[in-house]
Amino acid sequence: MTTETHGTETDGAETERTADAFVGRIFEASTGMLDVMSVYLGDQLGLYRALHGGGRATAGELAAWGRIDQRYAREWLEQQAATGILEVDDVAAPAEERRYRLPDAYVEPLLDLDSPFSIAPLARTVVACAKVMPKLMEAYRTGGGVAWSDYGPDMIEAQGDFNRPWLVGSFGTELLPAIAGIDERLVADPPARVADVACGVGWAAIAIGRAYPKVRVDGFDPDRSSIDLARRNAHDAGLSDRVTFKTSDVANAEAGQYDLAVIIEALHDMTQPVSVLASVRRMLRPDGVALVADEKTEDAFTAPASTTERLAYGFSIFTCLPAAMTVRPTAATGTVLRADVVRRLGTEAGFQSVERLDEPELDMLRFYRMTP
């Protein structure tokens, strides 16, 4: 019997191409998937927050704090301890007397949506994908699609929360100032106008509004539920007077009125990206800039691929491509949007310059600067 090995990009380890190794990989991944769903339960039922606020808790105490059934509370606590997420004081104590706690190191990843360690939103997106599996299989058979609305609030809210840490943490204060020509215009007079295209729940617009107190930001998105959340977020941030949102695409937006347009991790989702980019170019002043952030893909297809590339392909087959297939005609781009494709899309939309920016750098996204 022969075995084939192939190096991976992520850690340099070799992966054995054997039945035993493959079974082990899928078994481990399945256990991980169950962990992800257990985190979803703890997040959405407020159990992690209850543990953090109350300290060490028995199953009965957690059931009371979280308003859930005590038997379910006990089983979830035991599973969380067994998988190494929660700590238990005395494993030998009777089941109803054991006390569990959330380790301090896990508070930010599970509870702080502004933290760069925030990970609970990823669990929400994975569960949202699982919810539409019957519709997804039908789409694969027929060539149809699965609408964003079918994924429910989990996908819409979690997508915004996944990008929220870097947007509210550094987009306006570190990243935009590092890109030539943008910071200078946003601090100058007359006050600049900014368009946040496919704005989702509004975190990019809010970050710009916070960092640049003179600018006015208009967010555009066709999804009403996203716009409702964006308006609420802007209100909570005290920016509703300068940061506004419209349930609309950009085809009918004012021409030649914007100094900057941003598209944050949305270009690959668009059914007609060239048309949208052409509208963005029309919205900009002659000296305006379009800034696109999208997936940090490899320059060419590779297999096996890095963990980041695998994650992008995973979301592509479960979410981004099916959503793009709901409308015809469609570019059907998928999540894995490579740099040469971005250049082609921008050029076809009429931009004179499409520049890939390797600095400033994000872990999972790459910036592109386009000028009319």
CATH of the domain at 218: 3.40.50.150
Contact 371, 182 (CB under 8 A): no
CA distances from 297 to 45, 107, 277, 341 (A): 35, 30, 20, 11
**Do both 350 and 213 map to the same domain?**
yes
- The span from the CA of 372 to the CA of 368, in Å, is 13
Q: Work out the pLDDT band at 16, boundaries 50, 70, 90.
A: confident
> In whole angstroms, what is the distance from residue 269 CA to residue 173 CA?
27
Residue-averaged pLDDT of the chain: 93
Q: What is the pLDDT at residue 15?
A: 64
Do 273 and 176 belong together in one domain? yes
The verdict on residue 118 lying in a domain is no
Q: Is residue 288 part of a domain?
A: yes
Q: What percent of the chain stands above pLDDT 70?
A: 96
Could you tell me if residue 142 is inside a domain?
no
Q: Do 87 and 193 fall within a single domain?
A: no
Tokens of 369: 């600067």
Residues 203 and 342 in one domain: yes
For residues 187-204, give the mean pLDDT.
95
Distance between CA atoms of residues 297 and 337, nearest Å? 7
Domain count, the chain: 2
Q: What pLDDT is recorded for position 13?
A: 44
**Cα pseudo-dihedral 168, 171, 174, 177, rounded to 10:** -140
Query: Does 52 map to a domain?
Result: yes
pLDDT greater than 80 at residue 361: yes
Range of the domain at 180: 165-306+324-371
User: Is 182 in the same domain as 254?
Assistant: yes
* Domain-located, residue 294: yes
pLDDT, tens digit, for every residue of 130-176? 999 999 999 999 999 999 999 999 998 998 899 999 999 999 999 99
User: Which of 68, 95, 111 is the last residue in one of the domains?
Assistant: 111
Report the percentage of the chain scoring pLDDT > 90. Answer: 89
* pLDDT confidence bin for 248, thresholds 50/70/90: confident
pLDDT at 210 over 50: yes
